[in-house]
Amino acid sequence: MNVVDTLTHYAVQYGLQAAVALGILFAGIMASRWAGNFAQQALERQTLEPPLRLLLVRIVKIVVMLFTAMIALQTLGVPIAPLIAGLGVAGVGIGLALQGVLSNVMAGLSIIFSKPYKVGEHISLLGVHGDVVVIDIFTTTLMHADRSRVIIPNRKIVGEILHNFGMIRQLHLTIPVSPNADLDEAIVQVRDVLDRHPSVMKDPVPSVGVSSLGESSLTVAIAVEPWTAAASYSATQGELNKLILQRFQERGIALPSSSLTVRMVNDR
């Protein structure tokens, strides 16, 4: 039997099985997409976090693909039981080689289910801070104030001290005034500025008061601590500083003036 006859024999014997197996795989791809879209629509009606919905949709797609792959292999005459056993042994080796990846996955699942933070909240940890924009299985992505992205592996987050500001943040402004200024009038004007600013929240109520005396009692510091949305934190801080300074100038509230003391020492 020559080569052509051999190829013809195998094509006749296994060609139909291969065609059926390819058809099953194609149908499995289409079925996984349909199942994923159906699961996505069904889960959107539930009160679930976006990362959890994404995880469940991916699991549905993977299960459908694995099921169709097993059917395709059986169609080709490949024994499934030894293959599953071999995959189990290989999985152990792959798991040892990918410990870092798997630890990120486990940490991601812990974050998704325990919900220490949510998308849109402002958090601070590991010396960085930002708004949470993506929570994935492997990483968490923060949007920094300068619009750069900070991508943190999930295994670095679990077990660390995390400061969750939520959706709002408190500003901490220190406004220096002269000790000769009318402090009551200064506080009234600061509160009026806060009441008029659209980004300052009315609840919680902003805190305004004299915080401390400056060096050598030449200045008095007024502490201004309003609340605002985390997204407008930086812009609101700059606007309030400007508006308070302008209001003090308009109302004649004295600002601290610098002074220099010179001592003349006569050695004779």
Q: Render each residue's pLDDT in the chain as its tens digit; 268 residues.
A: 455 556 565 565 666 677 777 888 888 888 888 888 888 887 777 666 676 677 778 888 888 888 888 777 777 776 766 666 666 656 655 555 455 677 888 888 888 888 899 888 999 988 888 999 988 888 899 998 888 999 999 989 988 899 999 999 999 998 888 888 888 899 999 999 999 999 999 988 999 988 866 555 567 888 999 999 988 888 999 999 999 999 999 988 888 765 555 556 665 5
Alpha carbon distances (Å) from 30 to 27, 104, 133: 5, 30, 30
pTM above 0.75, yes or no: no
Establish if 111 belongs to a structural domain. Answer: no
Kindly state whether residues 141 and 187 are assigned to the same domain: no
Q: Decide which of 63, 97, 131 is a domain's last residue.
A: 97
Establish if 256 belongs to a structural domain. Answer: no
Burial (Cβ within 10 Å: 0-12, 13-18, ≥19) of residue 248: buried
Kindly state whether residues 21 and 64 are assigned to the same domain: yes
Domain limits for position 137: 116-166
Establish if 54 belongs to a structural domain. Answer: yes
Kindly state whether residues 84 and 120 are assigned to the same domain: no
Q: Give how many domains the chain has, as a whole number.
A: 3
Establish if 159 belongs to a structural domain. Answer: yes
Kindly state whether residues 78 and 44 are assigned to the same domain: yes
Establish if 110 belongs to a structural domain. Answer: no
Q: Which residue has the tokens 């401390």?
A: 212
